[in-house]
Chain A
Amino acid sequence: MDLNLLSRVSAYEWHIPQKGTMRVPGIIYADESLVRDMDLKVYEQVVNVATLPGIVQASFAMPDAHWGYGFPIGGVAAFDPQQNGVVSAGGVGFDISCGVRALYTGLRTDDITPVKEKLADLLFAQVPAGVGSTGRLHLKSKEMDNMLAGGAQWAVQQGYGTVKDLSRIEEHGCMAGAKPGCVSDHAKKRQQDEMGTLGSGNHYLEIQEVVETYHDPLSEKLGIHTGDILVSIHCGSRGLGHQIGTEYLKKMVEAASRYGITLPDRELACAPIDSPLGQEYLGAMRAAMNCALANREIVTHLVRQAFSEIFPQTSLPLLYDVSHNTCKMEEHQIGGRSRRLFVHRKGATRAFGPGHASIPADLQAFGQPVLIGGTMGTASYLLVGTKEGMALAYGSACHGAGRSMSRHQATRQWKGQRVIQELAAHGIFIRSPSARGVAEEAPGAYKDVSAVVDAAEQAHLARKAAKMRPLICIKG
Chain B
Amino acid sequence: MGIRGFGVTKPQAFEQAALALTAVITDPQQVDPQMERHFTCDAPDDELLLVDWLNALIYEMACGHVIFGRFDVTITDHHLSAIAHGEPVDRSKHEPAVEIKGATYTELAVRQIEGNGWVAQCVVDV
Contact = CB atoms under 8 A, between A and B. Distances in A.
Given A94-B102, A267-B105, A132 B97 contact: no
A173 B91 CA distance: 33
A242 interface: yes
B98 A95 contact: no
Interface in A163-197: 186, 189-190
B118 to A, nearest CB: 20
A132 B91 contact: yes
Nearest to A134: B65
Given A69-B106, A94-B102, A437 B97 contact: yes
Contacts of B91: 130-132, 433
A433 B96 CA distance: 8
Given A69-B123, A69-B125, A190-B59, A267 B104 contact: yes
15 contacts: A69-B105, A94-B101, A94-B102, A94-B104, A95-B125, A200-B99, A249-B102, A266-B108, A267-B105, A407-B1, A407-B126, A408-B1, A434-B97, A437-B96, A476-B99
Given A69-B104, A440-B97, A253 B62 contact: no
A348 to B, nearest CB: 17
B56 to A, nearest CB: 10
B97 A253 contact: no
A246 B96 contact: no
B75 interface: no
A119 to B, nearest CB: 22
10 closest A-B pairs (Cβ-Cβ)?
Answer: A131-B96, A266-B105, A242-B101, A436-B97, A94-B101, A246-B102, A437-B97, A132-B89, A267-B105, A69-B104
Nearest to B65: A132
B54 to A, nearest CB: 10
Contacts, number: 103
Given A93-B125, A132-B89, A266-B108, A245 B102 contact: yes
A435 interface: yes
Interface in A408-442: 408, 433-437, 440
Nearest to B52: A250
Interface residues of B, number: 30
Contacts of A434: 95-98
Contacts of B95: 433-437
Contacts of A243: 59, 102
A241, A266, A406, A408 — which one has the most chain B CB atoms within 10 A of its CB?
Answer: A266
Nearest to A268: B105
B57 to A, nearest CB: 12
Interface in B53-82: 55, 58-59, 62-63, 65
Nearest to B100: A242
A239 interface: yes
Contacts of B83: none
A82 B125 CA distance: 33
Given A190-B62, A190-B63, A246-B55, A132 B96 contact: yes
A408 B4 CA distance: 13
Contact of B106 (A132, A242, A267, A433): A267
Contact of B98 (A90, A186, A201, A435): A201
Contacts of A93: 125
Given A69-B105, A201-B126, A131 B25 contact: yes
A265 interface: yes
B101 A440 contact: no
A157 B1 CA distance: 39
A151 interface: no
Interface in A72-105: 90, 93-95
Given A93-B125, A243-B59, A70 B106 contact: yes
Nearest to A263: B105
A47 to B, nearest CB: 15
Contacts of A440: 97-98
A94 B63 CA distance: 17
Nearest to B103: A246
Contacts of B63: 189-190, 239
